[in-house]
Amino acid sequence: MPKLRIMRKALSSLFSEEELKKAITSIDIIGDIAIIKIPREWENKKYEIGEALLSHLGGVKGVFRQISPASGEYKVRGIEWLAGKKDTVTIHKEHNCLFKVDISKVFFSPRLSFERLRIAKLVKKGEIVVNMFAGVGTFSILIAKSGAQKVYSIDKNPYAFELMCENIKLNKLEGIVIPILGDAKDVVKDLKGIADRVLLPFPELAIEYLPYAIECLKEQGWLHVYLHQKANNRKEAIEEAKKLLKDFNIINERVVRSVGKKLYQVVLDIEIRKNAKST
């Protein structure tokens, strides 16, 4: 049964079907932790909601609610405990890989699962990849598992870096995924001209860091640029994102997910040829 249907069934004794369809629109399951959003008018029943979900969601040991969107320097969302275990650390399984995550200290979204696999499948055996905003290492580890020769995995959040190092060991990728603590624009000064592919999965900084990403590439390579785009619909979001990088050779584009009301995350796959006039 889909997660939303399970959620609504679990809460059917507390709210009407109409209320549930309007208010309960999503849930994130990270390892054995569930994160939900509930409307402000339901706050007096928040712990009852947590207990009801805990008893219906198989494998879930802790329920939290999101009280603020991902924000701040490290893009961490505000959370509040509702039921079950209070520990915010969990092990998340994705595409046969293991990721240790602390939902209170790092950004992690299970909704990027398909996108992470999509990028990993694009990587050819022997490629050298730079991930400029690696977080706990999800993209990097999946890419390494797909046959990359080396993945330079950069993040400035010390908590994310620590977890990334643990995740590299968990997945037995020492020496292939190279964890680097620091601001990508400073780190890549030592990585000029080495990469076949560069990821910029931090929408708020992607445009600013684009020149540094290009410096990392060999004479020919790929950029995967993630942007947040306000638009009335998905098609419009793609078109507006493409306008921002109209001078580049965009080979593929797609909406990764909706991140808010009329706000979409878009990825552009760009081919770079440094000796070509268009770049």
pLDDT in tens, 54-74: 999 989 999 999 998 887 888
pLDDT digits (tens, 9 = 90+) for 197-216: 999 999 999 999 999 999 99
**Secondary structure element (H or E) that encloses residue 160, with its range:** helix 158-170
Q: What rounded mean pLDDT belongs to the chain?
A: 93
Q: Hey, what's the torsion of the CAs at 271, 151, 254, 236, to 10 degrees? A: -80
Choice between 77 and 152, residue whose per-residue pLDDT is larger: 152
User: What average pLDDT does this structure show over 117-137?
Assistant: 97
What band does 260 get if pLDDT is binned at 50, 70 and 90? confident
Q: Where are the alpha helices (DSSP H) in the chain?
A: 3-10, 17-23, 46-56, 113-122, 138-145, 158-170, 184-187, 206-216, 234-244
Give the pLDDT confidence score for residue 275 in this predicted structure. Answer: 79
Q: Are 26 and 55 a contacting pair, CB within 8 Å?
A: no
Give the pLDDT confidence score for residue 122 in this predicted structure. Answer: 98
Q: Class for domain 107-273, per CATH?
A: alpha beta
Give the pLDDT confidence score for residue 278 in this predicted structure. Answer: 43
Least confident of 106-110, 150-154, 192-196, 273-277: 273-277
Share of the chain above pLDDT 70, in %: 97
In angstroms, how far is CA 45 from the centroid of its own chain? 30
User: What average pLDDT does this structure show over 7-27?
Assistant: 79
pLDDT digits (tens, 9 = 90+) for 28-59: 999 999 999 888 888 899 999 999 999 999 89
Q: Would the pLDDT of 164 be above 90?
A: yes
Q: Which amino acid is it at 164? A: M
Phi–psi pair at 206, nearest 5 degrees: -60, -45
Give the pLDDT confidence score for residue 279 in this predicted structure. Answer: 39
Give the pLDDT confidence score for residue 61 in this predicted structure. Answer: 97
Name which of 30, 12, 29 is nearest 21 in CA terms. Answer: 12
Give the pLDDT confidence score for residue 10 in this predicted structure. Answer: 82
Share of the chain above pLDDT 90, in %: 80
Q: Tell me the domain boundaries of the chain.
A: 3-87, 107-273
Give the pLDDT confidence score for residue 104 in this predicted structure. Answer: 96
Give the pLDDT confidence score for residue 276 in this predicted structure. Answer: 66
CATH topology of domain 3-87: GMP Synthetase; Chain A, domain 3 (3.30.300)
